[in-house]
């Protein structure tokens, strides 16, 4: 050891500042690249999807299992935006959404009171939960019920519910929220009440059936039926929010699940792009591969199924709110289906069963016109049969159905308009439909 050595002979310690600066630059570049990747993922997503955060990570799947072999577990919560400018709203999908009703209502400006409208069955099952959630968020809440069933979606019931609404204490005002709690009948009726009372009240959809989840709850169509046909009296009135609690689907019987699946198949027939988060199966393939899990209402699969369908419906509604163009594609199966439903008698056949028959008849018509290959009809019929939906119905009167179609909302200049498939995932609107074609598609040779 050399005592008294000069400091110039000691080892040189490098200055740490350049190293720290370089590390910061590298981190900044990584952050920029990650943001660009997320942005590209969102831009490449199907229209209607909103990538809001990374909260759908694997750790939050709460025990979900892959819907298709080899795929990652399905997320348990989804949020999809319906883009309508200042009237845009979110559709939240997942277990437990009904218990978040109060928080969703309280988040709306000036929301102080709410009135829940439900049929008698749903009011008993879920009414207390809805009211408790609303009151827990600081809102006053009341509930109005009406008899269950499509046969009660009438002007008479509309008048009764409106009378009850105007008698609620404390009295309602334009800050009062209407909550539609139930299936498609409730959504249509409560939405029409919301559109009419005080010339328009805000409302929230809380659907409790698969049919309402994937169809009626999104898009703002409200209506009641008339003896001349379905949904002939109503209005467009968009909700402020939609909360879809898939856990309540476990209380439905098989027929109610199947009736909702008819609308899911319809979406797959008109648009092939129900592919959230980069999944590569088409909607029809997804339904086919997961039929057993869907029919048993397995929550993770139902969340995925509902989300894919809502994404398609939201994209269509965002592009064409008032059905002046692409939204008319959602009527595939409905021109014939509504006629069949009215002909057989409301309540005698479910809406989904009638739509199933309508899709098959309209697809037969398209095959006869050589608009699409027979393989399209085979694919449609095969999937509907697998799901337990009807493709034929004995005793239909084609002439009676044609007469009912003359009152269809889509008629223009006395001509029946119909959505016909041109390929799987592709449809077009035709306004030259002839009675002979409908008779052949519905006639005894097709039964």
- CB of 141 closer than 8 Å to CB of 168: no
DSSP notation for 254-286: HHHHHHHHHHHHHHHHH-S---GGG--S-HHHH
- CB of 115 closer than 8 Å to CB of 169: no
Please name the residue that has the structure tokens 């408790």: 132
Query: Cα dist. 181→49, 373, 416 in Å?
Result: 25, 42, 34
Catalytic residue ranges: 199, 221, 263, 313, 323, 327, 331, 334, 338, 351
DSSP notation for 45-110: SPTTB----STT-GGGSTT---SSTTSPPPPS-EEEEE--GGG-EEEEEETTGGGGHHHHHHTSTT
Q: How many CA atoms lie within 13 A of 183 on its CB side?
A: 26
Distance CA 199, CA 443 (A): 46
Q: Which two tokens stand for residue 314?
A: 């939201």
Strands of 140-146's sheet in order across: 78-82, 89-94, 241-245, 203-207, 177-182, 113-119, 140-146
- CA dihedral of residues 149, 151, 154, 159 (deg, nearest 10): -60
- CB of 319 closer than 8 Å to CB of 326: yes
Q: Which two tokens stand for residue 433?
A: 């439909």
Distance CA 234, CA 196 (A): 9
- CA dihedral of residues 63, 66, 71, 75 (deg, nearest 10): -50
| 89-94/78-82 β-pairing | antiparallel
- CA dihedral of residues 142, 143, 144, 147 (deg, nearest 10): -170
Distance CA 417, CA 323 (A): 13
Distance CA 79, CA 75 (A): 11
């Amino acid at each position: 050891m050399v005592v008294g050595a000069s400091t110039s002979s000691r080892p040189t310690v490098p200055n740490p500042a350049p190293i720290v600066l370089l590390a910061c630059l590298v981190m900044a570049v990584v952050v920029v690249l990650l943001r660009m990747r997320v942005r590209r993922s969102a831009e490449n997503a199907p229209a209607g999807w909103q990538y809001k955060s990374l909260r759908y990570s694997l750790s939050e799947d709460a025990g979900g299992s892959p819907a298709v072999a080899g795929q990652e577990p399905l997320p348990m919560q989804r949020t999809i935006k319906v883009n309508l400018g200042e009237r845009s709203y979110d559709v939240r999908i997942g277990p437990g959404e009904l218990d978040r009703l109060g928080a969703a209502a309280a988040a709306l400006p000036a929301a102080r009171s709410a009135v829940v409208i439900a049929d008698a069955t749903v009011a008993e099952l879920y009414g207390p939960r809805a009211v408790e959630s609303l009151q827990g968020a600081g809102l006053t809440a009341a509930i109005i019920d009406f008899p269950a069933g499509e046969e009660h979606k009438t002007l008479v019931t509309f008048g009764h519910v409106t009378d009850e609404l105007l008698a609620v204490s404390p009295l309602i005002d334009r800050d009062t929220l209407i909550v539609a709690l139930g299936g498609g009948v409730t959504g249509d009726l409560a939405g029409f009440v919301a559109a009419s009372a005080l010339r328009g009240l805000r409302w929230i959809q809380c659907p409790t059936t698969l049919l309402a989840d994937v169809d009626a709850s999104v898009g703002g169509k409200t209506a009641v039926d008339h003896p001349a046909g379905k949904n002939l009296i109503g209005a467009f009135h968009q909700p402020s929010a939609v909360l879809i609690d898939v856990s309540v689907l476990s209380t439905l019987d098989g027929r109610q699940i199947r009736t909702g699946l008819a609308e899911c198949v319809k979406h797959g027939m008109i648009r092939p792009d129900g592919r959230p988060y980069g999944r590569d199966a088409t909607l029809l393939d997804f339904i086919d591969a997961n039929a057993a899990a869907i029919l048993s209402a397995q929550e993770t699969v139902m969340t995925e199924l509902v989300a894919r369908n809502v994404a398609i419906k939201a994209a269509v509604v965002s592009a064409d709110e008032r059905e002046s163009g692409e939204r008319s594609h959602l009527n595939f199966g409905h021109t014939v289906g509504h006629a069949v439903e009215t002909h057989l008698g409301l309540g005698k056949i479910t809406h989904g069963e009638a739509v199933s028959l309508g899709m098959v008849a309209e697809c037969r018509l398209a095959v006869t016109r050589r608009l699409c290959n027979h393989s399209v009809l085979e694919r449609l019929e095969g999937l509907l049969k697998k799901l337990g939906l009807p493709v034929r119905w004995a005793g239909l009167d084609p002439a009676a159905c044609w007469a009912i179609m003359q009152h269809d909302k889509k008629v223009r200049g006395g001509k029946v308009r119909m959505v016909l498939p041109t390929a799987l995932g592709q449809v077009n609107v035709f306004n030259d439909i002839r009675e002979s074609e409908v008779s052949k598609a519905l006639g005894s040779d097709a039964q």
